[in-house]
Structure 1
Amino acid sequence: MKKIGIMGGTFDPPHLGHLLIAKDVQYALSLDEVWFMPNHIPPHKQLKSLTNTELRIEMLEAAIQNQPSFRLETIELEREGPSYTYDTIILLKERHKNTEFYFIIGADMVEYLPKWHRIKELVEQVNFIGVKRPGYSITTNFPIIEVETPQFDVSSTMIRKRVKEGMTAQFLVPEQVQRIIEEKNLYE
């Protein structure tokens, strides 16, 4: 049976923290691959604006291009409306029968788990991997596999804010992503 890690998010932009977490979880759990799954409309976030889907995919492809065990999964972009993890996991399991899925979330999302759509059914369908994040706890009543990764306090929100204020995202995002941000004048 194949073991696949899933990292969901807006990836607006994808940053080195995403890649570090994915690689550490892959190594710790001997996962065959990690799939980066950009979402269409995250139900838990109130975003003022989201970079268009094509540019987010372009940045994500650029970010993972040198990692053969990383892959882009666009299943959530194929559907309209909010992206609920339960619906996505059911679809993935239908498409990939001989696969065990591990859903990678940060500690901020661990705290939010009780509010997830159909969470009691979801924990029966997928293994949750909790990764520590500064300022958050990994305490929950739901089954979570905890994986230690270096604490790298970076977020897409912080990167967008830095660029908007005229600062650089260099050393926070892969070089190829930095190039796209600059060429397309994103977040200014």
Structure 2
Amino acid sequence: MSQPPLALFGTSADPPTAGHRALLAGLAEHYGQVATWASDNPLKQHGAPLALRAQLLGALVHDLADPRVELVQSLSSPRALDTLERAEARWPQRPLVFVVGGDLAEQVPRWHRAADLLRRCRLAVVPRQGYPFDPQCLEPLRQLGGSPELLALPVPASASSAIREQPSPELVPPVLWAELVKHNLYGLGPASAPPSR
């Protein structure tokens, strides 16, 4: 009997948002099991150290309280192929689905040995609400031998970059506020915290 697929979702988590929470919940519903981790994206500047971003993502996963979603920080690598090799070693019999946001789909062909990655796993692309998505960006992935699938999940329009530029309580999961304020991240100090409910 074949095993169900496992969704792999790495994110900068800089910081994790309400969108990350909704995406993890949606992936769990769709695939049945999700492994997530915080990573350094070589194409981005990060606002907090990796260890702290992993801690924030872990708090979000814990708050989600869904046994189908697991933080597996040991998968983290700036190179997606390294992550995939670690996942293959950990789950040798599982079909693996590498999940990226619609905003990253056009970057994938420029990733290290992208053709190898696309040959060894499925790629799922999740468009983000509020961000234009051109399905034509999937064509270069197909030319590299991939079969990208579009996944329409209800992910609210929330971007880590927007929080870094202008922190907004409705975009930040409540479980993260205390840590963000404690570490004075993204310009958030005690005066920024939303009122207690």
TM-score above 0.5:
yes
- Largest Rg, 1 or 2: 2
1:11 alignment partner in structure 2 = 13
Across the aligned residues of Structure 1 and Structure 2, the Cα RMSD in angstroms comes to: 1.8
Work out whether residues 103 and 128 of structure 1, in 8 Å CA contact, stay in contact via their aligned partners in 2. yes
More strand by share: 1
The total of aligned residue pairs comes to: 174
Contact (CA 8 Å) 1:25, 1:147: kept in 2 or not? Answer: no
Unaligned runs of 5+ in 1: 164-168
Deviation at 1:76, TM superposition (A): 4.4
Q: Does 1:86 align with 2:81?
A: yes
TM-score using structure 2 length: 0.80
Post-superposition offset of 1:151: 5.2
Q: Identity, % of aligned pairs?
A: 22
Is the Cα–Cα contact under 8 Å of residues 98 and 124 in structure 2 kept in the other structure? yes
8 Å CA contact 2:75–2:86 kept in 1: the answer is: no
Question: Residue 116 of structure 2 corresponds to which residue in structure 1?
Answer: 121
User: Relative to total residues, which structure has the larger helix share, 1 or 2?
Assistant: 2
TM-score by length of 1: 0.84
Shift of 1:97: 1.0
Moved over 4 A (4+): none
Aligned partners of 1:111 and 1:138 also within 8 Å: no
* Aligned residue runs from structure 1 range 144-155, under 5 A: 144-150=148-154, 152-155=156-159
1:173 counterpart letter in structure 2 = V
Q: Distance in 1 between matches of 2:61 and 2:172?
A: 11
The answer to whether the 8 Å contact 2:6/2:33 transfers is yes
2:101 pairs with 1:97: no
- Shift, 1:119, TM fit: 1.2
Structure 2 residue identity aligned to 1:36: T
Measured after TM superposition, the shift of residue 25 of structure 1 is 2.9
> Contact 1:107–1:138 at 8 Å: present in 2 too?
no
Counterpart position of 2:195: none
Contact kept, 8 Å, 2:37 with 2:57, in 1: the verdict is no
Which letter maps to 1:92?
Answer: A
Instruction: Return the offset for 1:125.
Output: 1.1
Distance in 2 separating the partners of 1:96 and 1:72: 15
Matches of 2:4 and 2:97 in 1, distance apart? 11
Secondary structure of 1:43's aligned partner? coil
- Indicate how the Cα distance of structure 1 residues 138 and 19 shifts in structure 2: closer, same or farther if over 3 A, else same: farther
Q: Which amino acid aligns with 1:61?
A: G
Distance in structure 2 (CA, Å) of the matches to 1:57 and 1:37? 7
Structure 2: 5+ residue stretches without partners: 188-197
